[in-house]
Structure 1
Amino acid sequence: MTYNATIRGKRQRIVTALDIGTSKVCCLIGKTSATPDWFEGNGDTMHFEVLGFGHTRSEGLKAGMVTHLDTAEQCIRAAVDGAERMAGVTVEDVQLSVTAGRIKSESFSASVALPSGAVRDDDVFRLLAGGRQYAARDKRTVLHALPTDYRLDENGGISEPHGMCGERLSVDLHAVTADEVAMRNLMLCVERCHLGVSGLVAAPYSSALSVVTSDEAKLGVACIDFGAGTTTLSVIADGHFIHADASRLAGNGITTDIARTLGAPIEHAERLKTLHGSAFATLSDEREIITYPCVSGMAQGSLNQITKAQLACIIRPRVEEILDLMRHRLAGSGFAAEAAQHLVLTGGGSQLTGLPELASNMFGRPARLGRPRVMTGLPPAAAAPDFSAAIGLFLHWARGDDKLGARTEQRFLRTGTGYFAKVGEWIMENF
């Protein structure tokens, strides 16, 4: 297991990434191409060319969870349709990012005897499948069960055990799970759009894959994704994904604070946060005046005014609360807290002026703003931190982390609303 991507077949393939969030639904369609053999080892072993990009405002969803099935379905249809029209292809299945379902991260060990005296593919499969089965207890859906270290007869530090000799194979696994009901409803919503779900990926993981460099992944890094409905945390150390967490305390809370304090409409509060918001107030901010309208129904007259410094005073307490919560979650993760030597901030909320400096002060670690990896054909609008999770879905597919461990897991709900179900209905009706 390494941090660099692994080849998922030499032929070109079409991969679709679908990121369903609180503020937006984003769909990316990409075409894969393997790099030349002589280039292997100098960068990613697989490149993506973005063919289609579509996004729309999210409705019927809250913190990545479906709250209104029909409305959420229409949003997904609109985003996928826009990407399909741009790419000129028809999508059949998607890689889906997950933030809902109370994401839980745990690490444990599993072992299996080696009847042949050597490690075969079936031995590794039985080991990883057993680990996934253990993680799936208590009605939880396993998003990932990733090996971080293999051991042969108590000899550890093995990254690739295939073909090696021994009597017993053991593995340390990091599993990420989510509530089964939340996942079923999310997949149901996607299948109602005549799409299959080919993979479920924890949003903290996909965001980190998109913005974390290979050196940071080896040395140890924590990635915080500031979304509208959720703030997620992931830790990568020694090239392995070792911790994930999520909280519903996020960017929408800042917007609500501004709207309530100033008596401004939600859309204008969001505009104030995006265009003028800051985590720090400077001397020049005292002289910068911002105008905004009051909510409808209140006395209408001249526009209300506030200084940029006053706006920063409204924003900072909520930002500090979010960062403090993430700091405590990271501290409670044990080994992951010690391994995270740097911070990378991404997501729409990470673009708040002064946030990296505030995070660095509160965590006591260097922090930077993380932008997603540049891909051929990616529109400039999609190269912002808002789309880190969507772009990371491509990179996760290329890595093939769950290829062995997920062989027995059925991703499709078979609700009768998917693409192949519709084809079956057409055949029965016409023949």
Structure 2
Amino acid sequence: MINCTNKKLIVGLEIGTTKVASLVGEVFPNGEINVLGLGNCPSKGINKGDINDLESIIKCIKKSIKQAEDMSNHKIYAINLAFSNQYINYKNEIGMVSINKEEITKKDIKKVIKTAKSVRINDKFHILHIVPQEYIIDEKKGIENPLGLSGIRMQAKVHLITSNYNIEKNIIKAVKRCKLRVDKIVFSGLASGKAVLTEEEKKLGVCMIDIGGGTIDVLIYIEGSLQHSQVIPYAGDIITNDISYAFSTPTSDAEYLKVKYGCASSFLQDNLNHIKITKSTNNESKILNQEKLTEVIELRCLELLEIVNNQILNLQKKLKKKGRKYRLNSGIVLTGGVSKTKFFTDCAERIFQMQVRIGCARNITGLINHVKTPEYSTVIGLLHFKNKNTSKKNEIFCKKKNWLYSINRWFNIYKILKLK
């Protein structure tokens, strides 16, 4: 028998347009994440965060969770869920309260946050996140934590992220049908930011762009506070569709071409050759022009990045008009599966005219070779969102282990990783 102790682990589940990823990990006090298990299943029945076939996506979730359970040797009962779709919106609001005692208490902070979030929103929407930007006590600005300080009046500037309740409810329904409890729902962009951004980058000013299969999540931090969050309903799938149309090939073959031979810069692409592929539909061979493939991908990447650049410029214009800092001195951080495209950073530098880097999850151990890539930023970031109300029922208990189960575990790990 192998010794087994109960551990409080956290599980992240990302239900994306192209994949359903689940990850089991243990978060240490220093913020380091020990990754114990990973599940990955191609998505069916969901597009840009909106379910169009409930039964299909349930099957995908179950398969992904089962892989993570087999690899980690733990039974999963509860998850943190990533959530993103084109109806995610934001508001920057201000709340204000009077301070009745000698110093500010936790009750005062809760009260000022409550006033800040008391804004009218569409009946179909609700507040998903309240992210404090800064506190102001009398005339003193830029306070990160007002607890214990003295003053007469306190203001709180907050960033509110709202979501469509019905779309969110359908995602939760799919998860519950898999006999899983949702402990937290997290905007995918926030999760990715937790995984790839540093506090120094946020203070200096940074824009994170997470380009997935169906959506692009954008976060902009200025002076350490979140000023802008946005979901663009175009991403990697539109590039795949362009390739499919240009070469009259099925989307499955187009996706293969994008991943295998994709390049985002015709200026840097060399050794251009013809590509021979076998159609998945009828096994016929077809010769494709790699130069044309690069041209299709490059044009669409430039267009997508230009949309983000316009958002950055609009925000900077507003902040500059108010006399506030607006520069992104840390530049652009790209993450998500599309960011792995060859020469994508060079393509981005042409649009943004500032430094660009690829962001992968930081401070992780365990299955590091298999998850330290941009497409897993969101699901790893989910593990940073601890449930404050965690109880024994929220724990993920070890399965009974014996020598036969251990052999089976390593066989499952080998099988899962071989398929990637």
Which TM-score band (shorter chain)? Answer: 0.7 to 0.9
Instruction: Report the residue type matching 2:355 in the other structure.
Output: P
Partner of 2:248: 263
TM-superposition CA deviations, 1:299-358 (whole Å, max 9, x none): x86x32223212111212211111111111222233399343301111100111121111
Whether the 8 Å CA contact 2:86–2:232 is kept in 1: the answer is: no
Residues 154-190 of structure 1, C-alpha deviations (whole Å, 9 max, x = no match): 3222211112222222101011111111111111211
User: Is this contact kept in 2: 1:131–1:145, CA < 8 A?
Assistant: no
1:162 paired to 2:147:
yes
Cα offsets for 1:54-75 (capped at 9, x unmatched): 1111111111222211211121
Counterpart of 1:196, as a letter, is R
1:372 aligns with 2:361: yes
Q: Which amino acid aligns with 1:244?
A: S
The Cα of 1:95 is off from its aligned counterpart by: 1.2
Quick one: which amino acid aligns to residue 340 of structure 1?
Answer: L
| Structure 1 counterpart of 2:293, from 302, 308, 311 | 311
CA distance in 1, matches of 2:215, 2:273: 31
What SS does structure 2 have at the residue aligned with 1:338?
coil
Structure 2 CA distance for aligned equivalents of residues 368 and 33 of structure 1: 27
Instruction: Mark the CA change 1:169 to 1:322 in structure 2 (over 3 Å): closer, same or farther.
Output: same
Question: Per the alignment, do residues 316 and 32 of structure 1 end up closer, same or farther by CA in structure 2, a change over 3 Å counting?
Answer: closer
Specify which of 114, 117, 129 is matched with residue 99 of structure 2.
114
CA separation in 1, counterparts of 2:304 and 2:90? 19
C-alpha distance in 2, partners of 1:319/1:284?
15
Higher mean C-alpha deviation, range 275-284 or range 205-214: 275-284
CA-to-aligned-CA distance 1:135-158 (integer Å, 9 cap, x gap) = 755432222111111111232222
1:335 match:
319
Partner of 2:131: 146
Q: Is 1:350 matched up with 2:339?
A: yes
What does residue 405 of structure 2 align with?
none
Distance change (3 Å), C-alpha of 1:128 and 1:112? same
Matched, 1:18 2:13: yes
Which residue of the partner structure matches residue 404 of structure 2? none
Does the 8 Å contact 1:265/1:293 carry over to 2?
A: no
| 1:12 shift after superposition | 6.1
Q: Distance in 2 between matches of 1:92 and 1:171?
A: 37
Shift of 1:22: 0.5
> 8 Å contact 1:142–1:178 — kept in the other structure?
yes
Provide the rounded CA distance (Å) in 1 between the counterparts of 2:120 and 2:63.
35
CA distance in 1, matches of 2:226, 2:151: 27
**CA displacement 1:201-252 (0-9 Å, x = unmatched):** 1111211221223322221110111111111111123333221111111111
Q: Displacement, 1:47?
A: 2.2
> What TM-score comes out, normalization by structure 2 length?
0.84
Whichever residue aligns with residue 260 of structure 2, its letter is L
Query: Partner amino acid for 1:316?
Result: E
CA contact (8 A) 1:207 1:388 kept: yes
Aligned-pair identity in percent equals 27
Amino acid at match of 2:374: P
Which residue of 74, 96, 109 corresponds with 1:124? 109
CA distance in 1 between partners of 2:141 and 2:97 (Å):
15
Amino acid across the alignment from 2:178: C
SS at structure 2 position matched to 1:281: coil
Aligned residues: 379
Contact 1:92 1:194 in 2 (8 A): yes
Any conservation in 2 of the 1:264–1:293 contact (CA below 8 Å)? no
Gaps of 5+ in 1: 1-10, 35-44, 408-418, 421-431
**Which amino acid in 1 is paired with 2:139?**
E
2:62 maps to 1:67: no
- Give the counterpart letter for 1:328 in structure 2: N
Q: CA separation in 2, counterparts of 1:277 and 1:348?
A: 12
Distance 1:15 1:384 in 2: 20
Q: CA deviation at 1:380?
A: 2.1
Q: What's the secondary structure of 1:246's corresponding residue?
A: strand
Change (3 A) 1:112 1:346: same
C-alpha distance after superposition, 1:24-71 (max 9, x if no partner): 11111112222xxxxxxxxxx322211221111111111122221121
- The aligned counterpart of 1:393 is 382
Matching residue of 2:214: 229
User: Where does the alignment leave 5 or more consecutive residues of structure 2 unmatched?
Assistant: 1-5, 395-420
Does the CA contact (< 8 Å) of 1:101 and 1:180 recur in 2? Answer: no
Bigger CA drift: 113-122 or 55-64? 113-122
**Contact 1:101–1:179 at 8 Å: present in 2 too?**
no
Alignment of 1:174-323 (within 5 A): 174-282=159-267, 285=270, 287-293=272-278, 296=281, 303-323=285-305
**Residues 47 and 280 of structure 1: is their aligned pair in 2 closer, same or farther, counting only changes over 3 Å?**
closer
What's the offset of the Cα at 1:287?
A: 4.2
Separation of aligned partners in 2, 1:160 and 1:285: 53
Q: 1:135 to 1:99 in 2, by over 3 A?
A: farther
* Paired residues of 2:31 and 2:363 also in contact (CA < 8 A): no
**Larger deviation, residues 133-142 vs 174-183:** 133-142
Q: How does 1:71-82 map to 2 (within 5 A)?
A: 71-82=56-67
CA distance in 1, matches of 2:319, 2:82: 26
CA contact (8 A) 1:277 1:311 kept: yes
Contact map agreement 1:104 1:176 (CA 8 A) in 2: yes
**CA offsets, 1:94-125, max 9 Å, x none?**
11111125111221110122232421111111
Native 8 Å contact 1:150 1:169 kept in 2? yes
CA 295–242 in structure 1, closer or farther in 2 if over 3 Å, else same: same
